[in-house]
Amino acid sequence: MKIEQIYTGCLAEAAYYIESNGEAAIIDPLREVSPYLKRAAQSGATIKYIFETHFHADFVSGHLDLAEKSGATIVYGPTATTGFEAHIAQDGEQFKIGAVTITALHTPGHTLESTTYLLSDEQGKHHCIFSGDTLFIGDVGRPDLAQKGSLTMDDLAGMLYDSLNEKIKPLADEVIVYPGHGAGSACGKSMSKETFDTLGHQKQVNYALKAATKAQFIEEVTDGILPPPQYFAKNAAMNKGGYESIDEVYQKGLQPLDPRAFEDMANQTGALILDTRDPQVFAKGFIPNSINIGLNGQFAPWVGALITDLKQNILLVTEEGKAEETITRLARVGYDYTIGYLQGGIAAWQNAGKELDHIKSIKAEEFEQVSLQDPTLLALDVRKPGEYEAEHLEITWSRPLDYINDWTAEMDPNKTYYIHCAGGYRSMIAASILKARGIDHVIDVAGGYSAIKNTSLKRTDFACPSKAMKV
């Protein structure tokens, strides 16, 4: 028996490869399926099943392409309805993979069809569970994504409590928990950086498993949940109804364009120009009106949070050789309409004599001096509300990047705004978006709050009273 966790850090997502006696199964595959096919081929194994723990909201699964290319059966849990051929398992139904057995345990709460898969080894002993978004390490799945009809978030949280107590907690302490996500995922609120653990240890340390009553569980699980990113519902719909083959997405997007063709394409299609280079490299020179979301950060989740139209045409500016990776990571969250990339990158654009724009980026020490000289300057902290409330500069205003589409209208194009986040990644995203929307006077504080903390600027560890920014 082989069990391999295939963890993708930029999505904080875990897929799983299971193999026994020449047969294999994949649990919660990502959109690009070649790694799973290659892995099975290396062992001479046949992929028999593709198990989905639920209709994922934070990424588009690769179940359709993988089923087509491997001949495997797609399996969902009870109550699931799909727009494609799939086996809808009954609660307690068993599936053989070589000499091991996987049992479907219906565990609704995160979503109505959420299912945990219990693996029993060759001797029939319970070995591990693949818990999807039902149980994380240190947390459980948010219960606000699948409200249906008269069901409320509290109703789903109650279902989740029952699922955990009736299906999962009775299992032996030595059973290993393999979750669908780790720290950084928006599918929970306090996940551990660890990606697996024993169930017994989780019973001791996971707040959700320690709740004494259902009422306490509901209160603790629902407290402090931020609204889900706008792309979640759209990804769930794609996973449920179907989507375009990843091969067609590559064919459409891997179109190298010289600077003239790139510019013509942008003008003709109204495509969004997405520049995925490092934030500080981007700041020194970029195509006017392009948006920076660096590939080396939480790229896909930020694309999903900020680009509201999944069918938006996208043109790419990337580092050399990064176009295919960028298209893959866009497709993982449902953005299938990349229509080309700038061949030769920004250097080709510059060599062609095309216009470049810039964003001024200053060090924390310079920001300190400017702030001390001008106490009326406008400074925006684009970190999440919880980060701001934990500690922030007295002079800054909380304007989370997550909600930039809501607060951009507040900005005065005639005024100058200093922008910082925690380390510099999100602030450049915000600065580039504001710049593209006509707010020309934006200045990025390089290094973000981690650098600013080393200055003498006054900080506070509690939220300032809510008030409107004077623009």
pLDDT tops 60 at residue 138: yes
Gap between the Cα atoms of 104 and 115, Å rounded: 6
What is the torsion angle, in degrees rounded to the nearest 10, for the CA atoms of residue 301, residue 303, residue 307 and residue 313? -140
Predicted local confidence at residue 338, as pLDDT: 98
> Considering the entire predicted model, what is its pTM?
0.92
For 335-383, write each residue's pLDDT tens digit.
Answer: 999 999 999 999 999 999 999 999 999 999 999 999 999 989 999 999 9
Structure tokens that stand for 210 in this block: 């320690």
Predicted local confidence at residue 471, as pLDDT: 41
Structure tokens that stand for 177 in this block: 């928990």
Burial class (CB in 10 A: 0-12, 13-18, 19+), 109: buried
Predicted local confidence at residue 133, as pLDDT: 96
Predicted local confidence at residue 213, as pLDDT: 96
The DSSP H or E segment spanning 300 is: helix 299-306
- Give me the mean pLDDT over the 168-180 stretch: 98
- Give me the mean pLDDT over the 82-99 stretch: 98
Closest CA to 321 of 258, 273, 277: 277
Mean pLDDT value across the chain: 94
Burial 395-422 (b: 16+ CB within 10 A, else e): bbbbbbbbbbeebeeebeeeebbbbbbb
Tell me which DSSP letter residue 181 carries: B
Gap between the Cα atoms of 131 and 182, Å rounded: 12
Task: Set out the domains of the chain in order of their start, with CATH numbers.
Answer: 2-234 (3.60.15.10), 244-351 (3.40.250.10), 360-460 (3.40.250.10)
For 252-267, write each residue's pLDDT tens digit.
Answer: 999 999 999 999 999 9
